[in-house]
Structure 1
């Protein structure tokens, strides 16, 4: 175990899981850090859409602070930010470019970026979209912690100038995500916020099979789906599902669907937090294909890769319970063996502890 660390996160949200997968990712990671004796402060922008949907306003595993003004929050926590072993800025933080610039002037010991959206971030940078990170800022970070692994890490260093790129996949809290033993309510389900580039896959792999299998039951949970979507009668819609209800939701499905955004498919090696959550609950996963999936969850052994609706329907109508259970068990074993918050916390602590001595002066001049 590494020495006890003091870490400050400035992330999208810890308090609210509404419309984002960041909250549960941070929660599992930070709980793992707390279990290992590390100290954590999490700072998030106080915005109305999260303020009205907070499902963890007062965590017991870290300090949580809200801010409305960047200058004010940096002044309030000035000493902590300068003396912490690591300051970690997350992706999609509002006014992230200004935040990183101003943080750099405080000369923190170690400044890192945790990209929970790496393929999306790089695609945005390639087209000059610097919504929350500027291309010029990438070399400033002592470590670029990436939601995506594989060849993306070399690309971050070679093309984008990252000093050190390291994979830090999403993870799951194994104490909260386990099978509840409830009877099945649905044959196939999906949990995810609406995304235009995921919707065609959802149409092919869930809505299509639902129309062809009217006697089976389906469910889609998540906000922001357009009113004009034509949902078949055998699909139940749930607008928002709090993390406390995720384990029950997954446990009540015979199978769950994993759908991947276009940029993440192109990058490969980008497992979503929902994939780990479902597997931890012992629910077999049907997924679209991306490079790296077969190594994390081998096809037919720990997951089922579907190329089209026919594959999904064949599984729903033809896979026996013994095979279904075997796939679910293998996937859960893999998650508990290396994709828990505790495992990820250990990886993060090692990355921070192995970084070179502070190069704050280089960040200021960059």
Structure 2
């Protein structure tokens, strides 16, 4: 089957936390025989911050962020067997959704793929005239990268024919153990862009422990933090490119995951960083959120913190030996249960089943 995927960016992770997710899933689907064309707008300086070349496993179409560029790529949907509109493209999102529903062929599987379900559901609750409300009758599937049963129930109550979480995972061909890099040497490292619904939790889970432990070293990577005042024992790196993530995760004593407010509230939403870090055998400390035990065993494969005090206590009691043991146990778990090969197999089964159902309805 031919897949036309309309998303934020495959080629750049710059201000684009979904890049790793897209790459892992689409690489696997291409290996299963799908022909993938990824459409991404030339926007937000992402093309100036590419961290991968156009891959062999997908054709990437970069289009101008203009009405003419939009019309051109919408028309391409007519060639596809599977048409996917991701959330958070960033430009012309509403027009893309309506245009793709109209342009796709009757036999095509139409999918809305939500990479930020809590934010989208909040928008839908605020806006009865949101284009997604109108699109539900024409959509075959809503796929999400997190949220579990609460998100499934919310989407199906709004009119989605079927909603299935496809969680983040590990792509072991790109993320794995690496040699330590002195640039990333520290006791605790955090990687994440500065976002309004994350900043308070970064203060609580990262900056408060840094202030409590002045003798320890802390490292923060990601966009937007350069203007934020931080304790003297915190270094800021700025944007960390994807090819540097393995060393970033493998070097510190421990790596911190901090969910955004909405993701933590909904639960069942492990970030890509969780699997990148554990894939590199990092000792991961994560803020507490419902569902963590479905992915990693607290105390054995991950350390869970309810607040900044817990983070500080975990760090103070963490030996290099125990950190290695936790990281190695986590890597074994994600390799066994949480790879993009497993996620891709699930998507493949869903697409095959949906295509068969559509054929049966067409004949009837």
Cα distance, 1:305 vs. partner?
0.9
Q: Distance in 2 between matches of 1:156 and 1:359?
A: 28
Name the structure 1 match of 2:358: 357
Matched residue, 1:49: 45
> Does structure 2 retain, via aligned residues, the 8 Å contact 1:221–1:238?
yes
TM-score normalised by length of structure 1: 0.90
1:186-241 CA distance string (max 9 Å, x none): 110101010122122211222122122222111000002261x2211211101101
User: 1:63 aligns to what?
Assistant: 59
SS of alignment partner, residue 186 of structure 1: coil
* 2:98 aligned partner: 101
Partner of 1:169: 167
The answer to whether the 8 A contact 2:63-2:73 is kept is no
| Structure 2 counterparts to residues 89-128 of structure 1, below 5 A | 89-93=85-89, 94-108=91-105, 109-128=108-127
1:238-249 equivalent positions in 2, closer than 5 A: 238-249=237-248
CA distance in 1, matches of 2:332, 2:260: 26
Give me the whole-angstrom Cα distance separating, in 2, the residues matched to 1:330 and 1:292. 18
Is the 8 Å Cα contact of residues 70 and 96 (structure 2) preserved in structure 1? no
Question: Quick one: distance in 1 between partners of 2:279 and 2:67?
Answer: 37
How many angstroms apart in 2 are the aligned matches of 1:275 and 1:71? 39
Alpha carbons 1:286, 1:304 under 8 Å: kept: yes
Mark the runs of 5 or more structure 2 residues left unpaired by the alignment: none
**1:130/1:245 Cα in 2 relative to 1: closer, same or farther (>3 Å)?**
farther
C-alpha displacement at 1:12, in angstroms? 0.8
Q: Distance in 1 between the 2:328 and 2:34 partners?
A: 32
Tell me what 2:293 maps to: 294
Write the distance in 1 (CA, Å) between the matches of 2:40 and 2:67.
10
* Aligned residues of 1:192 and 1:222 also touching (Cα < 8 A): yes
CA distance in 2: counterparts of 1:15 and 1:157, whole angstroms: 30
- Indicate which of 127, 133, 136 corresponds to 2:134: 136
User: How far does residue 155 in structure 1 lie from its aligned partner after superposition?
Assistant: 1.7
Q: CA deviation at 1:154?
A: 3.5
Are the equivalent residues in 1 in contact too, given 2:86–2:114 (CA < 8 A)?
Answer: yes
* Alignment partner of 2:153 out of 149, 152, 155: 155
Distance 1:281 1:360 in 2: 46
Q: Could you tell me the TM-score, scaled by structure 2's length?
A: 0.90
CA offset at residue 313 of structure 1? 1.7
Following superposition, the deviation at residue 23 of structure 1 comes to 1.2
Specify whether residues 186 and 139 from structure 1 end up closer, same or farther in structure 2 by C-alpha distance, changes over 3 A only.
farther
- Structure 1: which 5+ residue stretches go unaligned? 362-366
- For the 8 Å contact 1:146–1:166, the answer to whether it is kept is yes
User: Equivalent of 1:37, from 18, 33, 46?
Assistant: 33
Aligned to 2:258: 259
Aligned mates of 1:51, 1:235 — CA distance in 2: 30
**Alpha carbons 2:12, 2:46 under 8 Å: kept:** yes
Q: Is the 8 A contact 1:31 1:342 kept in 2?
A: no
Deviation at residue 286 of structure 1 after TM alignment: 0.9
Moved more, 83-92 or 242-251: 83-92
